[in-house]
Amino acid sequence: MRVLLVDDDPVFLQSAARLLAPEAGFTVVGRARTGAEAIEQAGALSPDLVLMDVEMPDMDGLETTRRLKALPIPPRVLLVSIY
């Protein structure tokens, strides 16, 4: 499964990538710090899954999800929060 990680916290991005790396079947194909970056990268990379924080500086995870679902090949989205 090709995964795009999205969070404005670089520590979370690094931790999530490290946790997924040894798991069979997961490949981190990109990392984004904003919703806009997530949409751009999802369009270019066609991930199977977007693992995304709910709270981000430019748009929240729900709005980003709506926009991701409008892509020609929409990925699955899993929203998380460290709150």
Position 21 scores a pLDDT of 83
- How far apart, in whole angstroms, are the C-alpha atoms of residue 36 and residue 64? 8
The residue type found at 13 is L
> The whole model's pTM is what?
0.92
| Site of tokens 């970056």 | 37
Ordered alpha helix ranges (H), the chain: 10-20, 35-45, 61-69
Q: Using 50 as the pLDDT threshold, list the residues of the chain that sit under it.
A: none
